[in-house]
Amino acid sequence: MNLMSEPSWSVLNPHSFYSRARRIRVEAEYAFWHQLRPVADVESDEDWTTLTTLLHKDTGLSKVPLTRNFDALDTLDQLPRLKALIQETFLLDLHHVSIIDSAVKTAPAALLHDDFFWASLDEDLMTRFTPSRPQQLLPGRRAITDTVINTIRSVEELAAPARPSPWGDPAPPPEPAAGPAPCEDPAATMRALPPADDDAARVASLFTEPQPDGTICFTLTVDQATGTLISDVVAQAAHTRGTGQARAMADLLLEPATIQVNSLLYSAHDVDDAPVFHPTTGLLTEETAATLREMVTRTLDMDDAQQAETPAHDMPFRIRCCVIGRDWVCRWPGCNAKATHLDGDHRINHEDGGPTRADNMVMLCRHHHNRKTDVQATYLLDPVTGDVYWHFQDGTYAVDLATGPLAPRERRWVQTFAQRKAKAREYAHRKAVAERFDAYRAHHEEREHPPPF
């Protein structure tokens, strides 16, 4: 039977009653929203209000879901390959498309008018939504969002303002060397919060808003480097003290305390322009990566860690870093819990002789760790790819692909990233030259054919 050998998505399983019902729902959902979709562009807010009010009267839907789904359809129109895939298979429902749309909205405005960005995004989403295993589980919200953010980072040069150089055009940057990226070197930074400097103050803001229920809401905005460190400190404190994150943050502010925290950075050491990943922030901006790299106090070779083994039950730090870097989130189907403070589960139990080694360890959140211990589902771990094959009580199975930067498939994207970055730079440069030429020609023609008055 093809189902068991060809790569496929578990949500498109033609032998599953639920998958067939899902397809009918998704197909009808798109048909419905296409019917509702405004024919002409609605420019002014007043027209939009009129339209959504009329639609509300006839459908009961409020302005928020109407706007969200129309925006999602607009974004899908910019992604022809993904759109064709959806029209053919109904792999993604409108909720998935609106996750993509929300992530796209975080891009600099200049990118949204750039064909190169949309083509790159279409390509990366097609890679993400092409299965490589039979019965593959659909990527979760986090993996989808990360895919879009990573594309944005790989082409963000296009959003930089063109700077004409009075000294002529600089040589294009050298093409990064092609080849495999076998090594990653996460580094641990152990430090307290950095002092605020002038640059940070420029982008930072804090709003304090008393709420009607007597609570107070704080909205803190800081640069990515500071924010990454704060979230690491707060998550670490919450984990150590066994409190929620909000409680931990309040305690840290109110009691003078020194806390040491590990911030993990993952980056290939043998690729020029290699992107730097953080387990909760994701792919860092170049600026943040540079700031955090300066704080690095320890570098670990993840290829060594991949082979490392200990007789102890608990993973030592470097093996843990290796498994976090591969798994990124709890590996239970559909769970998006970030891996940094989760338990490592022995695929073959330690007391049954299972080694404490990366290829026998999987990150699971406490909730799902208990499910697994109760034998509600069992799994096999592919030691090379990091794929996890889940076997369920009803005899079915599904495959979860690792999404961390150390997973072999994601390592390949690091090459794409480096090459795309070089291409985006060259493209932005050519565009700037063309714009200057057009400006020159316009000026020149104006002088040759002066307006009559």
Q: Which is nearer to Zn ion, 237 or 365 (CB)?
A: 365
Classified as helix, coil or strand, 238 is helix
Question: Minimum CB separation from Zn ion for residue 411, in Å?
Answer: 24
Question: Minimum CB separation from Zn ion for residue 342, in Å?
Answer: 8
Dig out the tokens for 229 from the structure: 């460190």
CA nearest to 305, candidates 244, 372, 356: 356
Classified as helix, coil or strand, 372 is helix
Q: Which is nearer to Zn ion, 153 or 372 (CB)?
A: 372
Q: Which is nearer to Zn ion, 66 or 330 (CB)?
A: 330
Contact between 145 and 99 under an 8 Å Cβ cutoff? The reply is yes
Please pick, from the candidates 330, 361, 422, 424, the single residue that binds Zn ion as defined by CB under 5 A. Answer: 330
- Cβ-Cβ contacts under 8 Å for 129 (sequence gap 6 or more): 82, 85, 91, 92, 139
Apex 140 CA angle, 264 and 385, nearest 5: 65
Question: Minimum CB separation from Zn ion for residue 332, in Å?
Answer: 4
Please pick, from the candidates 30, 118, 129, 332, the single residue that binds Zn ion as defined by CB under 5 A. Answer: 332
Q: Positive or negative, the Cα torsion across 246, 247, 248, 252?
A: positive
Apex 111 CA angle, 110 and 116, nearest 5: 130
Q: Which is nearer to Zn ion, 368 or 411 (CB)?
A: 368
Tell me the window of 114-122, 224-232, 295-303, 329-337 that interacts with Zn ion (CB under 5 A): 329-337
Q: Which is nearer to Zn ion, 282 or 333 (CB)?
A: 333
Amino acid at 34: H
234 lines the binding site for Zn ion (CB under 5 A): no
Question: Minimum CB separation from Zn ion for residue 335, in Å?
Answer: 3
> In 415-433, which positions are buried (b, 16+ CB within 10 angstroms) versus exposed (e)?
bbbbbbbbbbbebbbeebe
274 lines the binding site for Zn ion (CB under 5 A): no
Q: Which is nearer to Zn ion, 189 or 340 (CB)?
A: 340
Tell me the window of 47-55, 214-222, 291-299, 337-345 that interacts with Zn ion (CB under 5 A): 337-345
In the block, which residue shows the tokens 């998505």? 9
Dig out the tokens for 292 from the structure: 């955090």
Question: Minimum CB separation from Zn ion for residue 336, in Å?
Answer: 8
Question: Minimum CB separation from Zn ion for residue 231, in Å?
Answer: 19
Question: Minimum CB separation from Zn ion for residue 249, in Å?
Answer: 23
Window 347 to 406, contacts with Zn ion (CB under 5 A): 365, 368
CA distance 319 to 346: 13
Question: Minimum CB separation from Zn ion for residue 326, in Å?
Answer: 16
Compute how many residues bind Zn ion; rule: CB under 5 A.
6
Dig out the tokens for 386 from the structure: 């990091």
Tell me the window of 86-94, 101-109, 323-331, 437-445 that interacts with Zn ion (CB under 5 A): 323-331
**H-helix or E-strand spanning residue 422:** helix 408-448
CA distance 329 to 341: 10
Tell me the window of 1-9, 53-61, 158-166, 326-334 that interacts with Zn ion (CB under 5 A): 326-334
Q: Which is nearer to Zn ion, 124 or 327 (CB)?
A: 327
90 lines the binding site for Zn ion (CB under 5 A): no
Dig out the tokens for 192 from the structure: 């307290």
**CA distance from start to end of the chain:** 79
Please pick, from the candidates 335, 339, 362, 401, the single residue that binds Zn ion as defined by CB under 5 A. Answer: 335
Question: Minimum CB separation from Zn ion for residue 310, in Å?
Answer: 25
Classified as helix, coil or strand, 135 is coil
- The binding site for Zn ion (CB under 5 A) comprises 330, 332, 335, 337, 365, 368
